[in-house]
Amino acid sequence: MESRGDEVIPRHPKRSKPTNPAHFSSILSQDSVLPMPNLPTELILEILLKLPVKSLLQFRSVSKSWLSLISSPEFVKAHLSSSASNKNYTHHGVMVKVSTESVFVVKDCSLRSLLYHPVTEAFDLDYPGKSPNHYLWFVGVVNGLICFSIRLFDGLYDLFLWNPSIRKYKKLPNFRLDVSRRYYLDGHVNFKFGFAYNELQDDYKVVGIFPIYTRGHLSRVEVKIYSLKRDSWRCIDDFRRQELLAGSAKFVNGKLHWLDKQWNIISIDLADEKWAELERPSCFKQYVFLKLGVLGGDLSASYIYASSHADVWVMKEYGVKESWTKIFTTKSPGYPMTHPLHPTILTSNEGELLCMFGGRLMKYNTKDNMISYLDVTNFGPCLEAEIYVESLICPFSQQG
């Protein structure tokens, strides 16, 4: 199922500013429904690129030429590049999964407000597939598209691609496993997913890892990859590794990363669909608990010590073990640690960390180890949080 609307905005996230203003000038001169100020095309374009998605959706109604401009692949990619690189986080949001008595609620906060305002308001979002007692997981966020899964009563999963900024979504076709339907009801289901973008193919992909058990023992692992361009799943057969730990994959450098049950970092390259193992920081023997994350576009590893603190490492040069660098240590807000300390969500321009602890969002100052819990209204116990950038990227396949 697809939620479309009047116009389909192209999928095109490649991040480079347009180099031919004459192209946009020709678009803007296509009609004269409204007299336009005598402004250079470059200036008009610069203004439009700084606007939020909500305003651009409204401006599509100005004229046919503005609709054509704002819907063009060149503008969509330029706007994404401008929004993603905005150092003030003007066009960034934080999507949070909040637990209530009967349903998982998804709320949206302004990232800029969380970082710089004393009080932030959270807004409820009606995500597709919402239903009481259905369990929702965030799979990943790429270019403003949120991929999430919902586990149904019968043990099956629904997967969605959703752009909350333009209020459009796509329900992915169901994957088919070589098991009986009864298998899903026996409680063995422990599926893993990852969401990624292949820039070379200009294609969004979802990787599903499906461990299959027989009489309570792992017998095999099926791996399937969904392509948005093809709108279909297919199998790949070379997965020969252990079962993976719980948690969604982290997308860095064109690859998806998980941890296996031996705490090895396992990756799949979306270009050639080959599996590999990434070396961990050399301090691994001292770990208590390890979690992967992404900081500033780099792969991060948080070594969480149950009673006191967490060390956060970043791989500065992808694939080079020696480039793992410990960038800071976060103290536990509670001693002993009574709640899991989640991987850092963001490092702000001022060096403060946006973290989640005990179901609350907090800022952590690495210079003086000061912690400040954020005042968020219309909120609740926080289970997951993902940062996304507003974009015009559409979750629909353009084929056919």
Question: Where is 361: in which H helix or E strand?
Answer: strand 360-365
Mean pLDDT (the chain) is 82
pLDDT > 90? residue 79? yes
- Place 239 in a pLDDT band, splitting at 50, 70 and 90: confident
Task: Answer yes or no: are the C-beta atoms of 66 and 31 closer than 8 Å.
Answer: no
8: confidence class by pLDDT, cuts 50, 70, 90: very low
How do beta strands 119-121 and 123-125 pair?
unpaired
Instruction: Name the DSSP letter for residue 281.
Output: P
The lowest-confidence range among 101-115, 196-210, 314-328 is 101-115
Give phi and psi for 77, each to the nearest 5: -70, -35
Amino acid at 153: F
- Are 235 and 227 in contact, with CB atoms under 8 Å apart? no
Task: Work out whether the CA dihedral 4, 7, 12, 17 comes out positive or negative.
Answer: negative
pLDDT in tens, 359-370: 889 888 877 878
Looking at per-residue confidence, does 225 or 245 come out higher? 225
pTM metric for this prediction: 0.86
pLDDT of 175 higher than 50: yes
- Separation of alpha carbons 129 and 338, rounded Å: 33
Q: What percent of the chain has pLDDT over 70?
A: 79
158 CB-near residues (< 8 Å, 6+ apart): 129, 149, 150, 152, 171, 172, 174
C-alpha to C-alpha distance for 28 and 319, rounded to whole angstroms = 46
Given a cut of 70, whether residue 333 has pLDDT beyond it is no
Mean pLDDT of 129-150: 89
Tokens linked to 115: 């970082």
Q: Which residues pair with 2 in a beta bridge?
A: 170
Q: Does the pLDDT value for residue 76 go beyond 60?
A: yes
**Is pLDDT above 80 for 11?**
no
The DSSP H or E segment spanning 183 is helix 181-185
The vertex-299 CA angle with 347 and 138, nearest 5°, equals: 80
Say whether pLDDT at 2 is over 80: no
d(CA 45, CA 70): 10
DSSP lists the bridge partners of residue 93 as 110, 388
pLDDT of residue 241 exceeding 50: yes
- Do 12 and 229 form a contact (C-beta atoms < 8 A)? no
C-alpha to C-alpha distance for 294 and 141, rounded to whole angstroms: 11
Provide the 8-state DSSP code for 285: G
CB of 175 closer than 8 Å to CB of 233 = yes
Specify whether the CB–CB gap between 100 and 378 falls below 8 A: no
Of the ranges 87-91, 167-171, 285-289, 294-298, the best mean pLDDT one: 167-171
